[in-house]
Amino acid sequence: METVLIIISVLIIVLVLLQGSKAQAGGQIISGGNAELFQNQKERGAELLISRLTLILGIAFFIISLVLYLK
């Protein structure tokens, strides 16, 4: 079970690093340089897949961590 948790955590790290466009825009919140940051933009294609995989793996990470803690 611990190995599954390690694999999921590595996959989450990789998927978050692949979401670079959000991170670049997020840095401009303080300076106010990006007016389009908070607009409702739809993700499409690979971006949507990466986003959904990150969500699913995050939920799996939380559940497995909780099960291991209660064990």
DSSP letter string over 15-42? HHHH-HHHHHHHTTTTTT--TTTTS---
pLDDT tens by residue, 12-65: 999 988 886 655 555 555 665 555 555 556 667 888 899 899 999 999 999 999
Give the pLDDT confidence score for residue 19 in this predicted structure. Answer: 83
Q: What is the Cα–Cα distance from 64 to 19, expressed in whole angstroms?
A: 24
Structure token pair of residue 39? 């607009």
Give the pLDDT confidence score for residue 54 in this predicted structure. Answer: 94
pTM for this one?
Answer: 0.70
